Amino acid sequence: MSDGSEDKVIIETEDDDDAYGLDHDNVDTILAAVEANNQPLLLELLEPLHVADIADVLEQISRSERAALIELWGIELDGGVLSELEEGVRDEILRDLPDHVLAEAVRDLDTDDVVYLVGDLDEPQQEKLLGSLEDADRAAVEMSLQYEEYTAGRLMQRELVSAPQHWNVGDIIDYMRASDDLPETFYDVFIVDPFMHPIGTVRLSKIMAAARKTLLTALMSEDFRTIPVDQEQEDVAYAFNQYHMVSAPVVDEDGRLVGVITIDDAMEVLEDEAEEDMKLLAGIGDEELSDSVLETARLRFPWLAVNLGTAILASLVIGLFSATIESIVALAVLMPIVASMGGNAGTQTLTVAVRALATRDLTASNAMRIVRREALVGLGNGMVFAVVIGIVGWLWFGLPLLGVVIAVATVINMLVAGLAGILIPIGLEKVGADPALASGTFVTTVTDVVGFFAFLGLAGWVLT
């Protein structure tokens, strides 16, 4: 950080004047305090920062700086930071954290945050961490851990406020005033029948605006959606987003209320899912910005290996036409244009399709129409660009027939690109795979192979 080369890549945009996030000076001052081994100053600097911002600091500094900061922070470490960290950095910190610091840090966390942390640890570390919790918390955490990862059971919090059907506004207010372990935040009271089945929800704002003797059932909305405890978190996030839900009751297989999921949890899942699709499309796995060179290289390797395979396939196609290329070298010069236009058109279609499948806008009801549309768009743009590319090919090499050949190949490849871009992700979804997964390679493989084959094959037939 001291070689001065940093200055070359400082990111300065209009965003710099906004009120959120960290600025560069902030991080530098914190690092200076760590370097000077000045704990009071460090605490003073961290104190006004939100735990999410402190987590960002930890992610953005180097591994050794991170270790030094954590050591200097010591027992004062705020456990909230741990749940904000990305997985790689969190694992690294948890591994190095002394037992008593970890126990102290975890004690103040909500049980759903503890569940989130514990889920990532290996067996002995889990035991250690669970052992440092109070009995009630420990039991709650262990209960949540019984549910599968990435399901509603893991996402929900168990603390909630429910009321029997016969209660009125006064009853629930008195209950809440008397209770000393209400959830930190809640937006709805769930009305349950004697079997703990939720029969309605009442928004807090409605309760507050009603007279004491109003029955809760009179304020209750029956138009709510329950979430099965084993539902995939992706579906939970979809429901929150689609129906503008703020909190939703989670029920077990017997329909009994066991927890609540709030919109902030759903928002995080939604953000993660969008990021995952974006990364899958580009052939990146579960990598994080703080990963080391070795980890990053290893995670990107498989996709590059697949790409090498498909590139060799495309080369084999070209190899079939070596003799043709030898007699007309212009073909070698022009062939990447056909492949590239197809690849781009295919990627456009693919991205739209993957996104539409994720948001469930592309369904059986409109799939056929969209497939037709993509074919026509590919054909239409293909014909327009075919004219341009045909003229380029003709004028460049003075061979009118070469222009015709490249024009026809362009139309064919862009039509195929449109079809591949929509049919491949639909096909992947149909067989139960993630439509974003490897779609990119499949599509460009198709457009490379078809592009080279159409162009060189036609050329061999017409021009030689």
| Subset of residues 39 to 58 that bind a copy of itself, contact rule: CB under 8 A | 50, 52-53, 56-57
266 SS3 class:
helix
SS3 content of the chain, % helix, strand, coil (to 5): 65, 5, 25
Please pick, from the candidates 100, 128, 148, 242, the single residue that binds a copy of itself as defined by CB under 8 A.
242
We find the least distance from the C-beta atom of residue 387 to a copy of itself, in angstroms, to be: 12
Comparing CB distances to a copy of itself, the nearer of 139 and 263 is: 263
Residue ranges in 251-270 that form contacts with a copy of itself under rule CB under 8 A:
263-264, 266-268, 270
Residue ranges in 67-96 that form contacts with a copy of itself under rule CB under 8 A:
none
We find the least distance from the C-beta atom of residue 70 to a copy of itself, in angstroms, to be: 17
Comparing CB distances to a copy of itself, the nearer of 36 and 376 is: 376
Tokens 């009071």 correspond to what residue?
Answer: 40
Comparing CB distances to a copy of itself, the nearer of 101 and 266 is: 266
Using CB under 8 A as the criterion, what x/- string covers residues 118-147 for binding a copy of itself? ------------------------------
Q: Tell me the two tokens of residue 433.
A: 């795979």
We find the least distance from the C-beta atom of residue 461 to a copy of itself, in angstroms, to be: 18
Name the pairing type of β-strands 198-203 and 188-192. Answer: antiparallel
Residue ranges in 189-228 that form contacts with a copy of itself under rule CB under 8 A:
203-205, 207-211, 225, 228
Comparing CB distances to a copy of itself, the nearer of 101 and 269 is: 269
Please pick, from the candidates 109, 260, 389, 458, the single residue that binds a copy of itself as defined by CB under 8 A.
389
We find the least distance from the C-beta atom of residue 82 to a copy of itself, in angstroms, to be: 15
Residue ranges in 292-321 that form contacts with a copy of itself under rule CB under 8 A:
292-294, 296-297, 300-301, 303-305, 307-308, 310-312, 314-315, 318-319
Question: Which amino acid belongs to residue 54?
Answer: I
Comparing CB distances to a copy of itself, the nearer of 95 and 212 is: 212
Question: Which amino acid belongs to residue 221?
Answer: S
Comparing CB distances to a copy of itself, the nearer of 2 and 146 is: 2
Comparing CB distances to a copy of itself, the nearer of 81 and 341 is: 341
Tokens 């987003």 correspond to what residue?
Answer: 241
Residues touching a copy of itself: how many (CB under 8 A)? 153
Please pick, from the candidates 139, 143, 145, 278, the single residue that binds a copy of itself as defined by CB under 8 A.
278
Please pick, from the candidates 28, 35, 47, 99, the single residue that binds a copy of itself as defined by CB under 8 A.
28
Q: Tell me the two tokens of residue 79.
A: 């456990």
Which among 6-14, 67-75, 113-121, 134-142 is the span making contact with a copy of itself, rule CB under 8 A?
6-14
Sheet holding 257-262, edge to edge: 227-228, 247-251, 257-262
Residue ranges in 336-355 that form contacts with a copy of itself under rule CB under 8 A:
336-337, 339-341, 344-345, 347-348, 350-352, 355
Determine if 235 is a binding residue for a copy of itself (CB under 8 A).
yes
Residue ranges in 402-461 that form contacts with a copy of itself under rule CB under 8 A:
423, 426, 429-430, 432, 440, 444, 448, 452
We find the least distance from the C-beta atom of residue 410 to a copy of itself, in angstroms, to be: 10
- Report the phi/psi class of residue 21: left, alpha or beta, with left for phi > 0 and alpha for psi in -120 to 50: left
Of 349, 347, 342, 377, the closest CA to residue 454 belongs to: 342
Please pick, from the candidates 79, 153, 200, 283, the single residue that binds a copy of itself as defined by CB under 8 A.
283
Residue ranges in 365-384 that form contacts with a copy of itself under rule CB under 8 A:
365-371, 373, 376-377, 380-381, 384
Please pick, from the candidates 32, 136, 289, 462, the single residue that binds a copy of itself as defined by CB under 8 A.
289
Comparing CB distances to a copy of itself, the nearer of 130 and 169 is: 169
